[in-house]
A and B are shown apart, each in its own frame.
Chain A
Amino acid sequence: MQFNEEERLSPEEFLKQVNKESRGKLKIFLGMCAGVGKTYEMLKTAHEDFKNNIDIIIGYVETHNRKETKELVSGLEIIPRKIFKENNISYEEMDLEKILNRKPKIVLVDELAHSNAPNSRHNKRYQDVLEIIDAGIDVYTTLNVQHLESRIDTVGKITGIVVMETVPDSILDSADEVEIIDISPEELLKRLAEGKIYQEERAKRASENFFKKGNLTALREMALRLTAERVDHELREYLQSNKIKTVWKSSQRLMVAVGPSPHSAQLIRWARRLSYSMNSQWIALYVENSKKLSDADQIRLNSNLKLARKLGAEIITTSGDDLVTALTYNAIKENVSQIIVGKPRSTFLSFGYSKLIRRLINESGDIDIYVMGGTKKELAQKLSSDQIFEFEINKYLTSLAIISIVIHICYFLNDYINYQTVSLIFIFTISLISLFFSMGQVLLVASVSALAWDYLFIQPKFTFYVNKLEDILMLLMYFFIAVITGSLNSKIRSQQKMVKNREKRALALYNLTKDLSSATSLKEVINNAVKNIKKTFDVDMVLLYSDDNEKLNKNLSDNKNMFSIDEKEYNVASWVFQKHQKAGKYTTTLPSSDAQYYPMYTPRMNVGVIGIKLKEDEKISQDKERLLETFIYQIASSIEREILNQKNQKNILFEESEKLYKNIFNSLSHELKTPIATILGATSNLRSENEIKDPTFVKNMAEEINLAGERLNRLVSNLLDMSRLESNKMLLNLDWHDISDLINSVINNLKSELINHTIKVEIEDKLPLLKIDFSLFEQAISNIIINATIYTPPQSIITIQAKSSNDNVFLIISDNGKGIDEKHISTLFDKFYRIPGTKTGGTGLGLSIAKGFIEAHNYSIKVENISSGGLRFTIKIPITSENSLKI
């Protein structure tokens, strides 16, 4: 057993492998910098593939006018570039759509790190490549090491150039093959000098700026090391996929503490490198505290978290004012083996910070702690936090104003109160201020008031000098009491605020789940979802869900709570739907659209898409986005529940109709066959020449044929009537009719059917004329009577009554037979319903048609057992001025 256990891949490992197999393969030609010959090498490989009859095409190749490269481009199929026009500048970009439609085996896409023109589907070319791979197409691409997300800091340090076009490391990780194109820096410089890389003018500039031997050597080392790391990694993966577990898979989990600091970005990159070399998962943890972040900080925090996500980290956000507790708690919960924290350069803060680190080391137990150094850049960035100060300065001014007013008041009251009372008034004011302002302001107010007290109220006045020891003590105590009450108050307040915020979120979520679970139909679920999202986030929104064909349902005209979307927006939504990735405004995919779209999916199905538009047309805050994503997940599972429910219902209906269909078929063919058999039997008898044709025999035969014919005729009429009813296009031919006329007509037509039964007619005098469709009524009543003749024993009495009360005319058809079991009463009028165990003959249509015809007039019909035996049908016709006429 144990042996098996060891041999087996864990489900996650297996999934990863399967995923890799069904997608297209990615081959990256990696170089240290431009000019090493990546494109050239890629094209050469392409030509070899082409010779081997592989369907390989060029999606996008930049020749840079290099002669050798240009020669290699010819001979291969090239997808023409797409031209984008923006502000009179046209951009040539790879045509993603055409490549996907062309669906070759392999496509060449040069310069993976390229940023696309505005209005392209994706911001970055690597996103295009990912989509191509997802479509099952292999991609060859080229990449310089300096564009890798995790390397840009180092590259910046080495070359002094800030690289803007970056590619997430996960792309390189997911590549199936990486080929390093390596030449020595000398060789490269020689090629540059020969003008093989850039034209002369540019070559000169390039060699001055970038192409320095030192730079190149460093970049080369970086590229080679990266490849070496990768080889190491691949080896480990190989061992795993071949179930060779000689090397134990790293059980290490890293956690990096992330904040709004620019230093965090570096930490994140470093953590990602560490996790890669350790082959471990990693987590980025953000501890939200009660301090409100400034806008600038919020933006930086978002970009940091985004970076972490891009680099493959799992993001966890938690709240708590104590950083150490939050870190260790989550580290233990997530089974983390290493925690990475930053070390800020600022000496000003370092005292408190090193205390934190010490606490962290003490409290984290077995977990290793890495403390990473910061850089100078951070200080520069720190300056921008002056904005925070500016933002807060108003608050400082306000608190100063308040205290100075209080000081003034006290000063004027000086003659009536002693100076100790003044200190109490000050403390009271500070307590009040601490309820609305934060720590800094409280400190300021405390200091100012202490000085004012000393200067204005403590003897000797108008000096800061205090001569009594008692007063000195009081002053000191005053200051401490002010600071402590102030800070405690403000802390309690901010914690309350945090709790309140969380409560608000919890409440919103609770309301959503409550509304969703109480909804009983898809429409209701959607309405409740829309209502809750709009209420909680104050946004305009649209919700599209999957239809039966796994496409987004465009039909939302019935819901005025949603904004309408055009074809373009629908396409964005469809992309989101298929790719399970958010897109739209403020995202990196299809940013030119009007709204942000989030996918709704569950592990079992693709549910739909939610699009939102903020009222102020701004980006949704990370905070809210997280809550929104939770909302969306809840909504997705509720919609899934309803869709599955509907499918279930449909299946049941389908089975029922299948059963019904079979029944109809059986009874119809039986109904047709019997009279046909009778007719054919009788006629063959009449035709045979040997028979003596005595008149009674012939007459009997004719009688049989006639009966069979009538039966067939009745069946066909019923079917025709039924289809008339079903078509829903029945026009009533209304005219004034006499009820006795109607009843007579029925009886005359049914002479042969009524031959074995006694019919009794009781028509009240002075019945009003009724405006009805004569033939429909005739048919309805005939069907009821025929039914009675079939299911009651011969010689039974069938009674037809017509009578009126003040408001209604009643047509009552009753028999004195046995009646029916009560349990069949409710289904008696159902189409094709036949009481089980009744004799053959009849399709179960007659009564259903009768009911249909009566109800087409908006009159009602009911059936009941008569207590003395028999069945009674009652047609109720309300008397109105339109439909009846007294005579």
Chain B
Amino acid sequence: MNKKKILIIDDEAQIRKILKISLESVEYTVIESETGNDGIAKTAMYNPDAVLLDLGLPDKSGETVLKELREWYKKPIFILSVKNSEKDIISCLDHGANDYLSKPFNIPELLARLRVIFRYEQNNQEEEHIFKLKDIEVDFTTRNVKKNGEIIKLTSTEYSLLSLLIKNRGKVLTHKYILNEVWGHGFSNETQYLRVYIGQLRKKFETDHNRPEIILTESGVGYRFFTDF
């Protein structure tokens, strides 16, 4: 079987080691790199299926490495960061990173996210017509949204927001990205619109809108639509 290749760019040997052990246990092959420059070189050399990029590198900032990679590398890049660096994370996500995890992270979560990313890569190829999750059903052709079989009335903004979240399900979307996509450029700082509409969607779809299980908040970063794969 063709194992997926993952490049880890992190200067901490211990982190690389634990990642390598964990990733290799679930059918990935791992390439290690200690510095940003070496990482870029190895990406070019091995063309890995995904890159795990640490933001705190000794030679250049993770953000710079990301931007340089994104000039030619199209496959998923996954950010590893420390706590309290939401700004860096948002910036990386807005510059094409696919997802992120804060250290200390738990490995199962990382593996799940990777799975989502690879699955999403495949799904993106084909057009989806009907989405189903738990008791929610969305028909993208008719724009009908049903909960428990009953049609839920949505405004067009609510529908755009919901379908954007569903099409990117499992993946974190930054506020800026969502605002740009749904409201258009020029609204990227109007977070309060987003909060209001997310609140409304939650009231319509969540069992307890104060304890959401479908539209999840990534604190300080954005939103993620629940996915079970």
Contact = CB atoms under 8 A, between A and B. Distances in A.
A744 B196 contact: no
B193 to A, nearest CB: 9
B220 interface: yes
Interface string B181-211: 0000000000110011011000000000111
Q: Which of B104, B191, B219 has the most CB of A within 10 A?
A: B219
Interface in A725-769: 733, 735-738, 740-741, 743-745, 747, 749, 761, 763, 769
A717 B209 contact: no
B86 A887 contact: no
Contacts of A769: 192, 195-196
B84 A736 contact: no
A717 B83 contact: yes
B87 interface: yes
A778 B198 contact: no
Nearest to B86: A775
B223 to A, nearest CB: 9
B86 A737 contact: no
A709 interface: yes
A738 B212 contact: no
Interface in B44-93: 83-84, 86-87
A733 B86 contact: yes
B220 A775 contact: yes
B219 A745 contact: yes
B224 to A, nearest CB: 12
A473 B40 CA distance: 132
B87 A736 contact: no
B211 A709 contact: no
Nearest to B83: A717
B217 interface: yes
Given A733-B86, A733-B220, A741-B217, A887 B211 contact: no
Nearest to A738: B195
A736 B210 contact: no
A736 B217 contact: no
Contacts of B199: 738, 740, 887
Given A735-B191, A738-B198, A763-B210, A720 B84 contact: yes
A740 B208 CA distance: 11
Contacts of A717: 83
A282 interface: no
A761 B209 CA distance: 12
Interface string A688-705: 000000000000000000
Contacts of A774: 86, 219-220
B211 A761 contact: yes
B219 A740 contact: no
Given A709-B104, A717-B83, A744 B195 contact: no
Interface in A769-790: 769, 774-775, 778
A724 B198 CA distance: 32
A733 B89 CA distance: 14
Nearest to B218: A745
A677 interface: no
Contacts of A743: 210
Contacts of B86: 733, 774-775
A645 B212 CA distance: 60
A885 interface: yes
B75 to A, nearest CB: 30
Contacts of B83: 717, 720
A747 B208 CA distance: 14
A743 B212 CA distance: 11
B172 to A, nearest CB: 13
Given A733-B87, A733-B220, A744 B212 contact: yes
A713 interface: yes
A763 B202 CA distance: 14
Q: Which of A709, A737, A747, A778 has the most CB of B within 10 A?
A: A737
Contact of B192 (A720, A744, A763, A885): A885
Interface string A875-887: 0000000000101
A713 B86 CA distance: 18
Interface string A709-726: 100010001001000100
Contact of B84 (A709, A735, A763, A775): A775
Contacts of B210: 740, 743-744, 761, 763
A736 B220 CA distance: 10
Nearest to A743: B210
B220 to A, nearest CB: 5
A738 B217 CA distance: 10
A737 B217 CA distance: 11
Contacts of A761: 210-211
Contacts of A763: 210
A188 to B, nearest CB: 90
Contacts of B195: 736-738, 741, 769, 887
A18 to B, nearest CB: 65
B84 A887 contact: no
A713 B83 CA distance: 11
B220 A744 contact: no
A733 B221 CA distance: 12
A854 to B, nearest CB: 17
B213 to A, nearest CB: 10
B189 to A, nearest CB: 9
A740 B199 CA distance: 9
B104 A713 contact: yes
A159 B175 CA distance: 106
Contacts of B198: 738, 741
Nearest to B193: A736
Contacts of B192: 736, 769, 885, 887
A709 B219 CA distance: 22
Contacts of A738: 195, 198-199
Nearest to B191: A736
Nearest to B104: A713
Contact of B209 (A736, A740, A778): A740
A45 B198 CA distance: 102
Contacts of A744: 210-212, 217
Given A744-B211, A885-B192, A887-B199, A775 B87 contact: no
Contacts of A775: 84, 86, 219-220
Interface in B86-131: 86-87, 104
Nearest to A774: B220
Nearest to A885: B192
A762 to B, nearest CB: 9
Contact of A745 (B104, B175, B196, B217): B217
29 contacts: A709-B104, A717-B83, A720-B84, A733-B220, A735-B191, A736-B191, A736-B192, A736-B195, A737-B191, A738-B198, A738-B199, A740-B209, A740-B210, A741-B198, A741-B217, A743-B210, A744-B211, A744-B212, A744-B217, A745-B217, A747-B211, A763-B210, A774-B219, A774-B220, A775-B86, A775-B220, A778-B219, A778-B220, A887-B199
Given A740-B210, A775-B86, 16 more contacts: A709-B104, A717-B83, A733-B87, A735-B175, A736-B192, A738-B198, A740-B199, A745-B217, A761-B211, A769-B196, A774-B219, A775-B219, A775-B220, A885-B192, A887-B196, A887-B199
